[in-house]
Amino acid sequence: MKSENKLWRMWKVLSLALSIVVRVYWYRLRGKSQWEKEKLWEQIGKEFKETLFELNGVLIKVGQLLSIREDLLPKGFINQIQDLVDHVPPSPWEKIESVLEGEWGGPVSSKVLNIDQEAIASASIGEVYKATLLDGTQAAIKVQRPEIPSLVKTDFRTLSIIIWFARHFAPMPKGFINFKMLYKELKQVIEQELDFSKEMSTGISFKQRFKDHANVKIPTMYPELCTDKVLVMEWVDGVRLNDREAIDLYGLNGQKLAQELFRLFLPQWLEPGIFHADPHAGNILLQPDGTFVLLDYGMIGEISKRDSAHFQNLLEGVLLKNFRKASEALAELGFLLPDASPKTIEPVLKEFVTLDMEQFKQMDLISVKKEINEMVKSLPVQVPTRFIFLGRSFATIEGLVHTLSPDEETLDVVKPAFMDWVKDGNTNKWELLMKWVSAQPLFQTVQKVRQLLDLPEKALEQKDHHQLNGFQFKLFEGQKKQAFVLLLAGCIGGFTGLALGMEVIWQGSFGLAAFGVAGYWIIARRQRNWLKKLKNGQL
**Long-range residue pairs from 418-423, CB within 8 A, at least 24 positions apart, any chain:** 418/262, 418/266, 420/263, 421/263, 421/266, 421/267, 421/270
Mean of pLDDT over the chain: 79
Q: How confident is the model at residue 348 (pLDDT cuts 50, 70, 90)?
A: confident
Beta carbons within 8 Å of 487's beta carbon, 6+ residues apart: 513, 516, 517, 520
Residue pLDDT, tens place only, 357-409: 445 445 444 455 555 555 555 566 777 777 878 888 888 898 888 888 888 87
For residue 95, what pLDDT is reported?
94
Q: How confident is the model at residue 71 (pLDDT cuts 50, 70, 90)?
A: low
Q: Each residue of 424-450: b (16+ CB within 10 Å) or e?
A: eeeeeeeebeeeeeebeeeeeeeeeee
pLDDT at residue 204 above 90? yes
For residue 79, what pLDDT is reported?
83
pLDDT above 70 as % of the chain: 78
pLDDT at residue 1 above 80? no
> What average pLDDT does this structure show over 162-190?
69
Highest mean pLDDT among 45-54, 130-139, 293-302: 130-139
> What average pLDDT does this structure show over 34-59?
86
User: Do residues 287 and 298 make contact, with C-beta atoms less than 8 angstroms apart?
Assistant: no
Q: How confident is the model at residue 197 (pLDDT cuts 50, 70, 90)?
A: very high
Single-letter amino acid, residue 42: E
Q: How confident is the model at residue 493 (pLDDT cuts 50, 70, 90)?
A: confident
Mean pLDDT is lowest, of 247-256, 380-389, 441-450, 498-507, for 441-450
pLDDT at residue 127 above 80? yes
Query: ∠ CA(43), CA(48), CA(49), 5° rounding?
Result: 100
Query: ∠ CA(402), CA(307), CA(332), 5° rounding?
Result: 120
For residue 453, what pLDDT is reported?
45
Single-letter amino acid, residue 337: L
pLDDT at residue 438 above 80? no
> What is residue 131's DSSP assignment?
E
SS3 content of the chain, % helix, strand, coil (to 5): 65, 10, 25
Q: How far apart are CA 503 and CA 489, in angstroms?
A: 17
For residue 173, what pLDDT is reported?
47
Q: How confident is the model at residue 519 (pLDDT cuts 50, 70, 90)?
A: confident
Q: How confident is the model at residue 43 (pLDDT cuts 50, 70, 90)?
A: very high
> What average pLDDT does this structure show over 14-27?
84
Within 10 A of 273 (CB to CB), how many other CB atoms are there? 15
Burial class (CB in 10 A: 0-12, 13-18, 19+), 275: buried
Q: How confident is the model at residue 138 (pLDDT cuts 50, 70, 90)?
A: very high
User: Do residues 130 and 235 make contact, with C-beta atoms less than 8 angstroms apart?
Assistant: yes
pLDDT at residue 221 above 70? yes
For residue 124, what pLDDT is reported?
81
For residue 101, what pLDDT is reported?
95
Spell out where 352-440 has E strands.
none
Q: How far apart are CA 124 and CA 485, in angstroms?
A: 42
pLDDT at residue 267 above 80? yes
pLDDT at residue 136 above 90? yes
Beta carbons within 8 Å of 236's beta carbon, 6+ residues apart: 217, 219, 285, 293, 295
Q: How far apart are CA 97 and CA 143, in angstroms?
A: 9
20 vs 453 pLDDT, higher one:
20
pLDDT at residue 345 above 70? yes
